[in-house]
């Protein structure tokens, strides 16, 4: 029973339930949303890496960012029209099939096509899918499409990537360098990633992403916040019998 009670998969919850269960993280969330908002008026975009152990709330934050940028959720002090200037793409927590920059961009455009079908994009995807393993030619075609789409629609792309360490480890150093160049020189792509801790690809001064991301370590929530979170979870999960009996179950 205890195992069922505390098993938590944020992706299974509605945007509103995720918002209601946010405890001790609203300041951090708003900081990131403000950076996204400021990115609408700047050419240079700041990229972030959220770190913290499993269960600290990284996936929860990425989901809230995604729903907020899409306009599903609203927050006091944050513009409600971020979706007018941003396209948010949330990558699966475990993206095993992505092992190159070309495959990352292909996945992004497949998601985009699923949401907003476009004949030109469909033709590009079909061309790239005819290749067994997309390489540099396909990579550059995909980059050009995204850059041109930004010029046409005026919308930048936000990539939200959980387990960013696995993704960058699977990239060649050339792909890492090309992605860094896009983030540094382009004005259409921003990445907010998450990882359990810092990793070689952002710590090794000889690699492209050394000292590149603004790193934010997610703090542990306080004891009082844990109690608040438990009560909200019980309410969201409709565990009214436990919620009513909460005080009697408090450790003495």
pLDDT, one tens digit per residue, over 27-50 is: 999 999 999 999 998 878 999 999
CATH superfamily of 25-220: P-loop containing nucleotide triphosphate hydrolases (3.40.50.300)
Tens of pLDDT along 78-119?
Answer: 999 999 999 999 998 877 789 999 999 999 999 999 999 999
16 in Cβ contact with 75 (< 8 Å) = no
Q: What pLDDT shows up at residue 5?
A: 46
What phi and psi values does residue 119 have, to the nearest 5 degrees? -65, -40
- List the helix and strand counts (H, then E) for the chain: 12, 5
Measured CA to CA, the distance from residue 186 to residue 178 in angstroms comes to: 11
pLDDT band, very low/low/confident/very high, at 12 (cuts 50, 70, 90): confident
Looking at every residue in the chain, the average pLDDT score rounds to: 90
Alpha helix stretches (DSSP H) within the chain: 2-6, 15-20, 26-38, 58-69, 101-115, 119-129, 136-153, 164-170, 173-185, 200-203, 223-236, 240-244
Measured CA to CA, the distance from residue 160 to residue 47 in angstroms comes to: 10
Tens of pLDDT along 116-153?
Answer: 999 999 999 999 999 888 999 999 999 999 999 999 99
For residue 41, with 0-12 CB atoms within 10 Å meaning exposed, 13-18 middle and 19 or more buried, which class applies?
A: exposed
């Amino acid at each position: 029973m205890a195992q069922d009670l505390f098993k938590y998969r944020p992706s299974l919850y509605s945007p509103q339930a995720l918002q209601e269960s946010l405890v001790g993280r609203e300041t951090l969330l708003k900081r990131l949303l403000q950076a996204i908002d400021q990115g609408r008026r700047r050419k240079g975009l700041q990229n972030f890496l959220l770190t913290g152990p499993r269960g600290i709330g990284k996936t929860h934050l990425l989901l809230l960012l995604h729903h907020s940028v899409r306009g599903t959720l609203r927050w006091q002090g944050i513009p409600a029209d971020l979706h007018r200037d941003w396209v948010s793409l949330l990558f699966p927590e475990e993206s095993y099939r992505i092992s190159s920059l070309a495959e990352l961009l292909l996945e992004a455009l497949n998601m985009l096509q699923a949401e907003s079908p476009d004949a030109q994009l469909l033709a590009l995807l079909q061309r790239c899918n005819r290749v067994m393993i997309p390489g540099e030619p396909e990579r550059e075609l995909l980059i050009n499409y995204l850059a041109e789409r930004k010029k046409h629609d005026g919308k930048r792309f936000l990539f939200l990537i959980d387990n960013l360490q696995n993704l960058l480890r699977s990239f060649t150093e050339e792909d890492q360098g090309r992605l860094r160049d896009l983030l540094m020189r382009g004005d259409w792509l921003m990445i907010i990633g998450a990882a359990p801790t810092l990793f070689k690809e952002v710590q090794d001064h000889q690699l492209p992403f050394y000292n590149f991301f603004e790193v934010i370590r997610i703090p542990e929530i306080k004891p009082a916040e844990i109690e608040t979170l438990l009560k909200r979870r019980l309410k969201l999960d409709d565990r009214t019998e436990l919620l009513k009996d909460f005080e009697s179950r408090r450790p003495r």
